[in-house]
Amino acid sequence: MNDEPPVQNQPSGLAPPADFTTFMRKYQDMVFTTSARLVRNDAQAEDISQEVFIKAHEHFDMLATSPSAGGWLKTVATNLSINHLQRYRKRWKFFSEFGGDSQEDDAPGVEFAAPDTFFEGIDSEEKRAWIEDALSKLPDHQRIPLVLYHFEEIPYDEIARRLGVSLAKVKTDILRARTALAKILTRGDSTLTAMAS
Amino acid sequence: MNPHESEKLETAVHAVLRRLPDRKAPSSLEGRVLAELSRRAALPWWRKSFAHWPSAVRLSFVLCSALAAFLGVSGLVALAGTQGAHQVTGNISSSLAWLILARDVVASFDGKARQILAAVPPLWLYGVAGGIALCYAALAAIGAATYRAITFSRQTT
């Protein structure tokens, strides 16, 4: 996290439209967050965000006045992040999926008695950081569909198509991700309460 | 988990995640984007993609390419029928005579190898092939198990 204002040092000889800089400042947090939640690596997310804004600059005539510019940027950021992940996923697919997910298959259902406790202190910086951390701790095959479903609001079948997996696997992975997240958050609640007291 | 619990969990997780604010982008991002745009803008047109070339240059390039292709094909067709073409073919054949020698050497080795293979009992060959397959499978299994162990230990820590 950094609260510094955006860098102002434009390289000499650069003449992007002043509006583009304003445009970029308006959307850079959203683009970076979209990418960072998918790839789970800030350096790679920054590279992807750079690529997104370079594409945006090529279409700036259209985006400058478009009310759906934010959606366009989010879609491009999501697509580039998925492409980035697919490149590595292909390489490790065999190894990561070898032997199946027996541990998760045998996992008992979460005791989900009090979801309302999730909301306690949700607006605090500490709790938000905890949730982001919990999200990043999920394995890729659970986190990616979860992020696509809950943050990008992409339907199950579209997620399955884009990730190249079955619809049933997407649903199972998202359910397991929610369960795992709920467990972490429930644990986190007690830890945060203990730290506070 | 029954459908009601599953729905409740989905609603709760969705509400929690949707309330998360965006993270702050690194302060270096804006500078990096502007620097890259500047670098690309400074490139001369011939170092950019074809789509960025001036229209007149693009048209000229297409016409010149078509002309070059036409001249090349016409030249080859014209040359193929001349006396000089036969001479050139002969010269090339003589300069590549070593390839024929190499082919003969490989063929003689191939013959020896076939003789040796014929002398080895088939059971031995099956055994060697099975051993190689077993080693390959064991290596893959060890690699996969190690990867899974490392990944699992990272997830649990």
Query: Tens digit of pLDDT for each residue in B31-72?
Result: 999 999 999 888 888 888 888 888 999 999 999 999 999 999
Tens-digit pLDDT profile for residues B93-126 = 888 888 888 988 999 898 888 888 888 888 888 9
Give the nearest partner residue to A139 out of B18, B29, B155, using CB atoms: B155
Better-predicted residue by pLDDT, B119 or B4: B119
- At B12, the pLDDT band (50, 70, 90 cuts) reads confident
Sign, CA dihedral A48-A53-A58-A62, equals positive
Give the nearest partner residue to A132 out of B14, B20, B34, using CB atoms: B20
pLDDT at A101 over 50: no
Better-predicted residue by pLDDT, B44 or A15: B44
pLDDT at A6 over 70: no
- At A28, the pLDDT band (50, 70, 90 cuts) reads very high
pLDDT at A144 over 80: yes
**Range 24-53 of B in CB contact (< 8 A) with A:** 24-38, 40-42
Largest CA distance in chain A: 62
Task: Tell me if chain A has a CB within 8 Å of the CB of B155.
Answer: yes
Convert B78-112 to b/e letters by CB count within 10 Å (16 or more is b).
Answer: eeeeeeeeeeeeeeeeeeeeeeeeeeeeeeeeeee
CA distance B19 to chain A (A): 8
Q: What integer pLDDT is reported at residue A148 of this predicted model?
A: 94
pLDDT at A109 over 80: no
pLDDT at A58 over 80: yes
CA distance A53 to chain B (A): 7
Look over chain B and give the mean of its residue pLDDT values, rounded to a whole number: 87
CA-wise closest residue to B7 among A180, A157, A119, A178:
A178
CA distance B27 to chain A (A): 5
What is the ipTM, given to two decimal places?
0.71
Convert B3-24 to b/e letters by CB count within 10 Å (16 or more is b).
Answer: eeeeeebeebbeebbeebeebb
Q: What integer pLDDT is reported at residue B39 of this predicted model?
A: 92
- At A106, the pLDDT band (50, 70, 90 cuts) reads very low
pLDDT at B154 over 80: no
Can you say how many angstroms the Cα of residue A160 is from the centroid of all Cα atoms in its chain? 17
Which range has the worst mean pLDDT, A7-16, A157-166, B7-16?
A7-16
Chain A contacts of B17, Cβ < 8 Å? 131, 135, 150-151
Chain B contacts of A94, Cβ < 8 Å? 144
* Cross-chain Cβ contact A96/B35 below 8 Å: no
- For residue A53, the chain B residue with the least C-alpha distance is B33
Task: Tell me if chain A has a CB within 8 Å of the CB of B144.
Answer: yes
Q: What integer pLDDT is reported at residue A81 of this predicted model?
A: 94
What does pTM read for this prediction? Answer: 0.63
pLDDT at A107 over 70: no
Interface test with B, best of A52, A120, A178 (most B CBs within 10 A): A178
